[in-house]
Structure 1
């Protein structure tokens, strides 16, 4: 049995590419859950970014185990691209580039009555999307998710293209 090792062989193997992309999504999801387990509570946007990873990981697993058509790789790419876009958006919210969702960020206090201000404070979530919870050398978890998920989306597309060539 020959294992594909060269870049050319890897790019020609749709099942290997699809497996790598699905494993990548599963790894990101597991990593997020581990961070949560050690005390880094996720915000609403963090949770939202996990669902497409779950879809991609389950789809990839089903495609491998049930020998489903490789054309379904398109949906894996769509899931990975969705979480990448959410990651870029969340990164922008953290940096103050974009305004985050009302349920997850502070929208300021200008023009609020004391009663409205108190209501806003009481309704505020404990974990806010516009605060950086963890970073390493200025890189946050949503930054990592955005970039890695984009790589996974490209890998899914390469799997799809390799399947089309092989069909």
Structure 2
């Protein structure tokens, strides 16, 4: 395949591209949190897990001496993880929009009324994160969870297509 006049070997480039995309998404989340001061909620933190997992799996797919089927299966697993991450991000969009409430511990942002002194002391050591339904940042009317839904879905589709291409051993 030719891209900008350069020959691109999808069979060799797919796994490193997936790893770079995942690491890039994690880097963007960490930059937003630590440099831009965007405080993540519990659901925001959970949405990082698929990116970490796909980065690790894609790195293994890139460096291990796997055949086309093995590499294709690992890329397919990455696509499934991206799809799961997109579903979790969409769930978060629904929580933010008030379409549904969440039962995930730590998302409420409120302290229970019946806390013991020991439980309150433990909470003071590790204060609760912001509520999951509280939007702290928007761009063009969309929240970070909405952008993550779109990114995860696009990455799932592209990675699934690459997995099929690699597993079939299609012509370069």
* Class of the TM-score when normalised by the shorter of the 2 chains: 0.7 to 0.9
Cα deviations by residue, 1:20-67 (Å, 9 ceiling, x for unpaired): 233222111110011110221211101111011000111111211224
**Residue 31 in structure 1 maps to residue 16 in structure 2:** no
Corresponding residue for residue 113 of structure 2: 118
1:87 aligns with 2:89: yes
Q: Are residues 165 and 100 of structure 1, via their aligned partners in 2, closer, same or farther at CA, if it must alter by over 3 Å?
A: same
Paired residue total? 153
The question of 1:159 aligning with 2:162 is answered yes
What TM-score do you get using the length of structure 2 for normalisation? Answer: 0.77
- Report the Cα distance in structure 1 between the residues aligned to 2:62 and 2:2, rounded to whole angstroms: 17
Question: Unaligned 5+ residue runs, structure 1?
Answer: 108-115
Deviates further, 80-89 or 62-71? 62-71
Q: Are the structure 2 counterparts of residues 62 and 102 from structure 1 closer, same or farther at C-alpha, using a change threshold of 3 Å?
A: closer
Match among 75, 80, 90 for residue 78 of structure 1: 80
Task: Assess, with a 3 A threshold, how the Cα gap between structure 1 residues 161 and 128 changes in structure 2: closer, same or farther.
Answer: same
List 4+ stretches of structure 1 deviating above 4 A: none
CA RMSD, 1 decimal: 2.6
Q: Name 1:22's counterpart in structure 2.
A: 19
Q: Do 1:22 and 1:61's aligned partners in 2 also have CA atoms closer than 8 Å?
A: yes
1:70-122: CA deviations, max 9, x gaps? 12111101111111100000011001012123531269xxxxxxxx96348x7
